[in-house]
Amino acid sequence: MPIDVVDLRTFYSAPLGRIAQRAISRIVRHWWNDTHGLAVAGLGYATPYLDPFRDEAVRVIGLMPAEQGIVHWPPGGTSATAMVEGGQLPLPDGSIDRVLLVHMLEPTEHPREVLSEVWRVLSPGGRMIAVACNRRGMWARVDTTPFGYGQPFSKRQLAALLRETLFSPERFGEALYVPPFERRSLLKLAPFFERTGKRMALPGAGVHLVEATKQLYRPVMLRARAPVRHALPRLEPRLQGSFRRDGPFRRDGDPDR
C-alpha cells in the first residue's frame, strides 16, 4: 500500500526523518559527486535527496506516482515535480543521465515495470540508484516511518530484480543502523550507530542502496540444438506367401483349395 505524500513530508520534517535523509544522502552524494552537465530525475519521493544536485546538474526533476500524491518542489520557486500514472514516465527515450528511486520499489505492485521504464528513459551509460528497505532490518518492522510500508528486499532479491530488468549492479551500500524511534537519546547517538554499523559491516541496516548501470544489449539465450531425427527408410509392400511341395503357391490366409 503506498504511503500518502502528506505523511512522507511530515516524516522528513521530523528529527528522525532528517537523520534518515542525512545518512542516505551521504552515500548518494559520495557515489554521484559530480553531475555537471547531466540530467537528474528522482522517482517516488526523492525530493529530499535532490537538493545537492540543483546547483550543478543541467536539469533536476521529481516524478511522483499518482497513488502517493504530489508536492511542490523546490519551495519558493517554479515547481520541478510532475505526477506519473502507473509508473509510465512522461519522458523521451534516453533523456535522463541519473535516476534516483526512493520510496518507489517497496509500495508498487509491479517493480519490474517501473524499472523497465527507468531503463527506457536512461541514456546510454546512464546510472540509477535504488534505495529500498532492508527486509532484515528493524525499519521494515515498524510502520511509524515510510520505510515500514510495502515489500522490503534482501540484497540478493534486489540484485536479481535489477538483472531481470537489464541493469548491472555496480556497488551496494547500507544506511540507517539507528533504531527507528523518536527518542532523544537514540537520535543523539545516530552518528555513532552509522559509523559502527559500517565499520563492522553489521547486518540489519534499515535500507539497501544499489547503484546500477543500464545494459545496452539484451543477453542472447542459447537454445539447445534439437536432436537430429534420422529418416526411416521407405517401406515397400511385399507379397508374403508359402509354397507347398504338393501344391501351387498359396497366399497366407487363403483357404486351402
Residues 59-79 have a mean pLDDT of 92
The pLDDT of residue 76 is 82
> Does residue 223 belong to any structural domain of this protein?
no
Position 257 confidence tier, pLDDT thresholds 50, 70, 90: very low
First to last CA, the chain: 92
> Does residue 19 belong to any structural domain of this protein?
yes
> Does residue 229 belong to any structural domain of this protein?
no
Residues 3-10 have a mean pLDDT of 93
Task: Give strand pairing partners of 167.
Answer: 214
The pLDDT of residue 237 is 55
- Joined together, the cell numbers standing for residue 81 give 515535480
Percent of the chain with pLDDT over 90: 73
> Does residue 162 belong to any structural domain of this protein?
yes
> Does residue 143 belong to any structural domain of this protein?
yes
Our count of domains for the chain comes to 1
> Does residue 173 belong to any structural domain of this protein?
yes
Label residue 201 left, alpha or beta by phi (over 0 means left) and psi (-120 to 50 means alpha).
left
Question: What CATH number is given to the structural domain containing 78?
Answer: 3.40.50.150
The pLDDT of residue 253 is 52
Position 241 confidence tier, pLDDT thresholds 50, 70, 90: low
Average pLDDT of the chain, as a whole number? 87
pLDDT at 181 over 60: yes
Q: Which stretches does DSSP call E strand in the chain?
A: 39-44, 59-65, 81-84, 96-102, 122-133, 167-175, 207-214, 241-242, 250-251
In b/e form, how buried is each residue of 96-108, taking b as 16+ CB within 10 angstroms? bbbbbbbbbbbbb
In b/e form, how buried is each residue of 221-250, taking b as 16+ CB within 10 angstroms? eeeeeeeeeeeeeeeeeeeeeeeeeeeeee
> Does residue 27 belong to any structural domain of this protein?
yes
Which residue segment(s) compose the domain that 30 sits in? 5-214
The pLDDT of residue 219 is 54
pTM for this one? 0.82
Of residues 110, 182, 111, 100, the one with CA closest to residue 145: 182
| Most confident of the following: 1-10, 55-64, 200-209, 234-243 | 55-64
> Does residue 244 belong to any structural domain of this protein?
no
pLDDT at 212 over 90: yes
